[in-house]
Structure 1
Amino acid sequence: MKKLIFTSIFLVMALSIAGQVVKDYNPSIQPTTGMQYFKPVEEHLFAGDCMPFYHNGVFYLYWLLDEGHHAGLDGLGGHQWALSTSTDLINWKHYPVALGIDEEWEKSICTGSVIADHDKIYAFYSTRVKEGNDVHEQLSYAISEDDGYSFKKQQPNPFYFAPKECVSRDFRDPRAFKDENGLFHLFISGYQKDSPLSGQGGYLVHLTSDNLKDWSEAATPLYGQSGVPECPDYFKWGNWYYLLYSIHGNTYYVKSKQPYGPWEYPEFQPMSEKWGNVSKTAAFKNGRRIVVSYMNSKLNNKDSEGQVWGGSILLRELFQQKDGSLTVGYLPEVAPAMTLTNIPPINLMDKLKEILPEKGEILTLASHNGISVASMNNLPSQYRITMTIVPKGNYDELGLFLRSTDKDKKGYKLSLNANRKTVGLFETEIESVNGLREPIMLNVVIMDDVIDVYINNERCIVNRLGEQKGENLLFFVKNGQAEFKDIKLYSIN
């Protein structure tokens, strides 16, 4: 679970123990299609860390139900596990809280994971507790006998405390799995009290069991991290083993041909982006794999303000390349309903000429001594636009200004830079983006306050931007030349 610094405005939202535990979430009124960017309909409720699980043809999405942006129970969260399921990722069902707060000492049912064994499903999670002025995290587990829709907590509760070398405040997010020999494992996020290098104490506690009840410590699969490696994920895909973990919300992965390393660090990290927090994955039918994270909200809903915990759910598809590296792309099943619509003419701003994309005309922008700009006006308030950008030689930067009003209110800048191998969207940026000198397939979704961008269906960048409402789009090229073609526009219903 990502930790953020919160302003006092959110801490004072906690009133009483009863008032700090969400009891008014109504699963029957939630939308059942278009799961992308989902948050509860109730304005005061939000979604946090996600825990996907695929079992018997059903995609289970457990997620932390949040009120007050982590302010519940004196700022300790007050979170509970909500559940949404689907068999096709298109149509969804929502259920009452599957794993909730029942005792006064439970200050939050934190992130964890589930595992099936015989006819039962086990949920392993951390419970946040407060003793005097100290906060601790400890492991608990629960069992479901109704196929994962509700859980009954088991005794002893807790069943495991932080090892002596681990900071007890940072002992959470257990990832349960079963190896090829039938042995059960837990990877738990932790931070060492005495690390070999100061500030690099993040590691994973490793427990093993042959019965899911009695656990013993084993060698750590990961250590020496700059922060707690939160919400770990672990899976085998083909001949490769993958370990995912998040540092300050950004998700990283390593891969190996051996179960527990030595790990290979990849050339780029496709799930490391500022607004896609703590990504976890689950298998899906036909060998596919789905990535689920969540987007934090912005303080005061202002574009330039910082993050506050909890927001909406973000879904992607994970792709495996021939060398075992991973990429992340568009997941069409969860997209909002949309309709292919006519493309407005493109106006060249420095000359009296229109480009008509629906007739196959190609927009060419060339400016070797500055910047060249064109505009497309009167777009829907919510839409998806796709295109291919073909750079002609080297360039400084190129891209779009989204939700623009005019040249003075130019909107939100989406910038691609081949020399730096970066893609930026407003104040956030992703690095090590390959292929920016070749034809670039760009896919942009604008819905409510979300701008979601896919580059070559391999990398993603998303931001929460709701203040500007312009209906224009600007194309630009700086110190270079590029073609914009194959443009398609979809109106989101």
Structure 2
Amino acid sequence: MTEREQELIKLAEEEVEKNKEVVEHDPYRLHYHLMPPVGLLNDPNGFIQWNGTYHLFYQWMPFKTGHGAKFWGHYSSEDLVNWKHKPIALAPSEWFEKNGCYSGSAIEHDGKLVLFYTGNVKDTDGNRETYQCMAVSEDGLTFNKKGPVVNLPEGYTAHFRDPKVWKKDSEWYMVVGAQSEELTGKVALLKSVDLTEWQHLGAIAGSGMNGLGDFGYMWECPDLFELDGVDVLVASPQGLKAEGMKYQNVYQAGYFIGKLDYGRASFEHGDFMELDRGFEFYAPQTTLDQKGRRLMVGWMGVPEQDEDKHPTIAHKWIHALTLPRELHLVDGKLLQVPVEELVNLRKTALVAVNDIKLSDEKEEVFFEERSAAFEMVLSFKRDVASFELDMSDTVRFTFDASVSVFSLYRKSFVTGEWETRSCRLQALTELRAYVDTSSLEVFLNGGEEVFTARIFPDGPDAAGITVSGAGTIAELNVWGIDA
């Protein structure tokens, strides 16, 4: 570790300690989601299970609640439930990363934990250079930087970042989010036999390719993996225009189902499908764990989407990561299911009732005790024609079978007015919600659709919910989750 890196890490640690009290006294501090100890968190990085332990890194700006020269923060867990904050993994100390250790991924090789990330460099005029870099660790805590392993290939602007690396047979492959010289979003594919010398094979997906028309000016954070015999490409395109219920956030995160021809370096795929219908979800990353599960974590935020207006800024921090989700492929669609280990978060049974007959009269369901953090599961009989659930003063769910639409309403933390996100849903059979102090993750029908949002209630604790509609709630269960 160089002297400059030691100096930057020391400054970041001092910033954590200096602001610890003000951060921890924020009433919107989350109970069971991963957050920065101070400053700004964004993309999840380097998600991997290595030597039996899950490691999850994240983009981190410790010195302010805005973006800048990012570090890699680091969490680890034995069970995906209890996470420990670890020493800083990467600091932007070297010439090839002086303006930020940007997003990337992790692999295991020869018993070592290997990180790949983008080194961001800008000159005094703001001109950008980009390098895909490698760092190696033998203990999972300290990382030896090997420097750039990929320079910018021809045909792209310097918006070339977020390497995701995996092994196929005896060779290594990397996808990188990119912008072509024509200012269109692309995903580039590279190949290596030794992780240090990489051959650029070309763009395999992007705007104007594979049947897509104009589809954004930059694609960030690509992730390509095999699931149940097909290949899935996850990406976060920038520059899509809203279409009805789709593409309602400033930037999107979604996936394509297809097949990667490794020999021809081509990827035939179907339509783009959004991963999450909520207000805050971006830059997800997946890993394959030792149980054979494909797990995913996303950033509970969106770039340039009212980031400067989050209430937590007053307490010197902003943003969080989603809970880990297991991916399943069913009828050509990715289903997202909260990992089974999350049942261990349940502490106190707050509600357990059966056969609630819904009507236009709103029925209040009171919790056994007030709770700022809880899991709520509702299962419905097939007769549900409409449904509304009001939660605190900030969140409302509605479903209307006559038009096959489910909607999430929240009070905007910018204007105080109600705003909405919606999706088509043929029937409502299950609603599972993880509510934290200032976050919400809703899984419908076993993960058929998912809504993620930050919420900022006027009051600190929920005392119950209100339900109405037409049909029957077969079961309603709520469990409190302790800090």
Cα distance in 1 for partners of 2:375, 2:194 equals: 49
Cα distance in 2 for partners of 1:384, 1:453 equals: 10
Q: Closer, same or farther in 2 for the Cα pair 1:219/1:59, shift >3 Å? A: same
Instruction: Indicate which of 79, 89, 108 corresponds to 2:80.
Output: 89
Structure 2 residues not aligned, in runs of 5+:
1-6, 25-29, 208-214, 239-250, 411-418
CA contact (8 A) 2:81 2:344 kept: no
Cα distance in 2 for partners of 1:483, 1:53 equals: 42
Instruction: Indicate which of 396, 419, 425 corresponds to 2:409.
Output: 425
Cα distance in 2 for partners of 1:184, 1:35 equals: 39
User: Is 1:192 the equivalent of 2:180?
Assistant: yes
CA contact (8 A) 2:134 2:148 kept: no
User: Is 1:282 the equivalent of 2:287?
Assistant: yes
Structure 1 residues not aligned, in runs of 5+:
1-16, 196-200, 344-356, 405-410
Superposed CA RMSD in Å reads 3.3
Instruction: Indicate which of 221, 231, 235 corresponds to 1:241.
Output: 231
Q: Look up the equivalent residue of 2:34 and give its one-letter code.
A: F
Q: Look up the equivalent residue of 2:439 and give its one-letter code.
A: V
- 1:445 CA displacement: 2.6
Matches within 5 A, 1:251-330: 251-259=253-261, 260-265=266-271, 268-271=273-276, 273-296=278-301, 299-302=308-311, 310-330=318-338
Matches within 5 A, 1:171-210: 171-180=160-169, 182-194=170-182, 201-210=184-193
CA contact (8 A) 2:431 2:442 kept: yes
- Give SS of 2:234's match: strand
Q: Closer, same or farther in 2 for the Cα pair 1:299/1:390, shift >3 Å? A: farther
Cα distance in 2 for partners of 1:335, 1:45 equals: 30
Structure showing greater relative contact order (alpha-carbon pairs closer than 8 Å, 6 or more residues apart): 2
User: Is 1:123 the equivalent of 2:115?
Assistant: yes
User: Is 1:79 the equivalent of 2:85?
Assistant: no
CA deviation string 1:156-187 (max 9, x = no partner): x444333342121x11111112222x222221
Q: What is the aligned residue count?
A: 422
Cα distance in 2 for partners of 1:54, 1:114 equals: 9
- Give the structure with higher Rg (CA): 1
Cα distance in 2 for partners of 1:309, 1:272 equals: 25
CA contact (8 A) 1:109 1:127 kept: yes
- Give SS of 1:220's match: strand
Q: Closer, same or farther in 2 for the Cα pair 1:138/1:299, shift >3 Å? A: closer
- Give SS of 1:425's match: strand
CA contact (8 A) 1:290 1:317 kept: yes
TM-score where L is the length of structure 1: 0.76
Q: Which residue of 1 aligns with 2:39?
A: 45
CA deviation string 1:56-89 (max 9, x = no partner): 3222211122235663xxx5x2211122222322
User: Is 1:400 the equivalent of 2:389?
Assistant: yes
Cα distance in 2 for partners of 1:189, 1:110 equals: 12
- 1:319 CA displacement: 3.0
Q: Closer, same or farther in 2 for the Cα pair 1:46/1:338, shift >3 Å? A: farther
User: Is 1:112 the equivalent of 2:96?
Assistant: no
Instruction: Indicate which of 376, 380, 388 corresponds to 2:365.
Output: 376
Q: Look up the equivalent residue of 1:22 and give its one-letter code.
A: A
Q: Look up the equivalent residue of 1:109 and give its one-letter code.
A: C
Q: Look up the equivalent residue of 2:338 and give its one-letter code.
A: Y
Cα distance in 2 for partners of 1:178, 1:468 equals: 49
User: Is 1:67 the equivalent of 2:67?
Assistant: no
- 1:94 CA displacement: 2.8
CA contact (8 A) 2:105 2:115 kept: yes
Percent identity, please.
Answer: 18
Cα distance in 1 for partners of 2:194, 2:86 equals: 29
Cα distance in 1 for partners of 2:398, 2:318 equals: 27
TM-score where L is the length of structure 2: 0.77
- Give SS of 2:223's match: strand
Q: Look up the equivalent residue of 1:202 and give its one-letter code.
A: G
Cα distance in 1 for partners of 2:10, 2:160 equals: 23
Q: Which residue of 2 aligns with 1:347?
A: none
- Give SS of 2:87's match: strand
Q: Which residue of 2 aligns with 1:222?
A: 205
